[in-house]
Structure 1
């Protein structure tokens, strides 16, 4: 039996000092054995051992067969531990069991393991790969947080959920295999995984949490399964290499809302076809996507949030919105595009098209005041009346009336 905090910070105050050994094999079954491994770098604990052990400077350790649970903080802070062999009988690893074991390079998880606690391998910065066994059903939040050398993670397990921050800041992670039965990816689960260039989302995935893949700066493409129902806020924010976002258009998609700032700052994204069934685009969802030149909106779209496409050039393209869409303030702020508003749309929020060169085409618009605009172009349809500091965009009939008033004033 290894008790909680058996190896904290590679040292422990012994309750039974007479059991302390210097460099010798641990013997007996006393409550505590304290071993200073100055000359010996490897230890095998004998089968049936029942004492607590604190290791000072240990490098390699083999735990005895028969152990089923490794308690919380058992090896927390063991900075010299490089390798550990876990028994085949082990079924659970406790909270913070290997936290900040900064030299731990290798750990083989037994096939019968079903649970890994929160922060179990937190900040194990020398760990290079991990294979989660097939029977694993629970993986706690922050389990591999800040494992900066972790390059390969095979999650070939029974996991249905990846908890919050599980692999956050694993900056070397480049090879990721997600379990086939995965349903939910938690908040910031893979945030700042800078080496992750691709990821295959399983067919049954229903939810991508807030910031789940944010700041994955080399992620180049992502394809969403048709069953995806939730795309959280900031989910792919600042994925600066993301060039392809694909929804399986030939299948019915359950997604109804794109979260706030979901793709904000994805500066390489050039084109996107939004899925049928989508109802709303959140605040700043595509803000700062400077390369975005093509967006296809579904007929089901009901609202476009504030600043949704702020700074998206959409150069030389016509954006057509469905009849039902409500448009938030500054939705196309700093845009240079032709925007086709639906004939039924008679009102829109302030500063909708302000600044830079924006073209407007609207069959039934009667009056629109756009303040502090640089230039407004009329490309067919309604006429435009310009004042020095503002532009009044008027329908053809109203424009004719205004022209007549001007002529009368000049006379």
Structure 2
């Protein structure tokens, strides 16, 4: 290189550029006689080997004829120096053997006589991420037991190594993914949720040839807390509130016109667990609590009975500094003076028959947070003309407005997900919206929200409006002539018993918008084949029970829940066999649901690795089964899955399962909430369990005693029902609730202690406990449900001093 020109006499700044000239180098090819080819070439230009092959010659020392072999390792491009390539020769009667690396470099070179055997190099070539296997001659493994007869160019065969990425969260293995160095990408497992946290996996390198451990990193979420007045007015918005922090309102005290005083917030202010709105709650200075009988439900109070005689009643929103959350069964039943009632925003549930037969009741004002109105709640309220159903209401039970002869209209909230049967029976004045031979009920924006009934039931087909979301409970039941259903484009929910005993239906294809199939929806129909859409998440109990002709059904991958006895008495239903079980699924996964164990006399069974659901009583009658392993993909196990498995004493859950665990192999525990969902006769409840699930030990008829450890706060519905030999139960002081019929039909139960933190006994708790002769009800219990001690031999019962109600 050289610098360009510049002028020192020029009075100004100058730019001088370097000028580069490509160097030339001599490239020489020589044979045994001398130079064959020589030329001067630019650096980096291609090198061309001589086209003429050097001649053979006779070695004067050995007398052997030497033939040209090659020019050695010739560079592709001219290097930055002169270079000489010398011709290589071999004896004419020799064979040239080259062992090469994976990238075609010479690993080892041999010259051997013809028919002479060679041995493989003592060291093997190396390729990152691979293991050497053998030497290949072309595509065939070379046989070193044969003599060499020609020149050989041997290449290595490598086997691809596999490595593991172990994904761990909370010190537990979530998944193990196998990869190799040719893997471009992997599907990361879902990170187990941790309430109030966002999560992401740590880094890993698919080009790193070794096992790797990847940990989940959890970060506290930030949420928005909104404070509103009773009328929806936003009072304050707090952003970036961390999960677990206690929200704090810093504005002026909310006010409400009239005889009201501020009485806190609904829901009650608690540590932040998500975006939340708090609405100001006011207490009427006119409201009286003396006219109500309350029962403590733990986190709130229930109205058990109204004993006043006012015509206009406002239910208090709080009692003893706790919210009033429910109006219980028969609370106002048969009241003949009540004309109007205001239910506060704190109330979530209106129970069975709560206002049944309140014949003078005309106006009901429901609070904004009511989620459920149960069966017959307002039945035979003959004077009822006005009731609001708030947005957020999810379920309206059967016959809620039966006999409400003065009720003419109703506006349903869009939040509704369940609409009971016989809703307006004997309510002749009620007006419904008509479309294509059907009656609908909705609201001003969408009058077709719920399909209520078919008008002319002699017709063979029905077309459902495109804006319909719900097919109401029993709305098409018992219509034997119905053969064709056009579901439209909007239906998301098929209600309970919607098509019960529709014997004319043989084949159905449900559209993809349907998400939920209710309890007994197709019970007793003549279906032979049904195709479910790809968005079905929920199939209710008995949905296809007694469909004797049903032979074919697909279960989509979208499924999240399947109820009890969904396919009971479907005697002709085709299933997929694997090991000793029968399965249902779809084309991509025929083993989605373990329907039943086919060979009940077995002592062991292998559940398919792709199974996600285990059916209710799937192992029914497997009395010789001693151990069972739940695979990693199982995400739902039906209640009483191990019914009749008298010998079962060990249950193992794959460590990579994201939903369940079995830390001591005697019980299955749901990871999300540490709920014990399935127990055995020999279960020892491990520490850390927070609740005993519904039906968890039901029918464990070899169990004689159980000790529930401290920390367990609740026992679910029928949790120990039909434990025929259960004699003693030890409950911790941490128990605050016991579900309905939790210990019913425990015929030999003689001793149980109740926690001093228990606030109520549910319906049927000890029903038919025929050996239970005495019990102490602690002072903390305020109410005892119906049939709690029915069919017992109770001789001595000591009631606590807080008891206000016995059902």
TM-score (norm 2): 0.22
* Structure in which a larger fraction of residues adopt helix: 1
TM-score (norm 1): 0.40
* Structure in which a larger fraction of residues adopt strand: 2
Q: Report which structure shows greater RCO (CA 8 Å, sep ≥6).
A: 1
